[in-house]
């Protein structure tokens, strides 16, 4: 069943999509950057932050230790935006907090990935939904499991089951708390 919200004065109804966003940082004041990003998401028209996971410390994936540990969270949001509009918004937030895209696995002040967006299935040059590597990433699945333990990831199934077969030794929950 879809939820709908009246979003304009003409009475047009647009569906609400529940979305999973993965946020990470390994440069600068990582905790402050994550807090600021969640606040910026909350300030976004047509988007509501529903839940945010605890903060996790994670080792970098696909790069050497010299890149530094990440802090990672998952945010559950609801929006009436279209997928590429949401992607534009998260890219603008990344840019506002100093993200420079010069190398795919380079250290970054802020990285926000759109993991799922309702039942949307999409493959464009800019965006694939669900995220094509989320089922392999402990830094996504572990925090997501904290806020939605029964969640499904597209054709891959329940995230709890995916975690059973994944090495998550580089993912550890912290006592850090986001400013709200």
Active-site positions?
A: 99, 108, 111, 113
Do the Cβ atoms of 83 and 15 come closer than 8 Å? no
What DSSP state is assigned to residue 169?
A: T
Question: How far apart (Å, rounded) are the C-alpha atoms in residues 112 and 139?
Answer: 12
- What's phi and psi for 89, nearest 5 deg? -65, -45
Other beta carbons less than 10 A from residue 142's beta carbon = 23
- What's phi and psi for 12, nearest 5 deg? -65, 135
């Amino acid at each position: 069943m879809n939820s709908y919200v009246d979003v304009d004065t003409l009475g047009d109804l647009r569906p609400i999509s529940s979305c999973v966003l993965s946020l990470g940082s390994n440069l600068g004041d990582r905790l402050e950057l994550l807090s600021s990003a969640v606040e910026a998401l909350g300030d976004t028209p047509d988007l509501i932050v529903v839940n945010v996971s605890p903060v996790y410390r994670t080792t970098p994936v696909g790069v050497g230790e010299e890149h530094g540990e990440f802090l990672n969270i998952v945010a559950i949001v609801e929006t009436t935006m279209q997928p590429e509009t949401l992607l534009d918004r998260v890219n603008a937030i990344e840019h506002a907090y100093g993200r420079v895209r010069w190398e795919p696995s380079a250290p970054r002040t802020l990285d926000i990935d759109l993991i799922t967006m309702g039942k949307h299935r999409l493959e464009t040059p800019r965006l694939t939904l669900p995220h094509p590597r989320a089922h392999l990433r402990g830094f996504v699945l572990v925090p997501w499991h904290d806020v939605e333990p029964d969640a499904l990831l597209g054709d891959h199934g329940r995230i709890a089951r995916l975690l059973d077969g994944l090495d998550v030794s580089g993912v550890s929950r912290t006592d850090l708390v986001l400013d709200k």
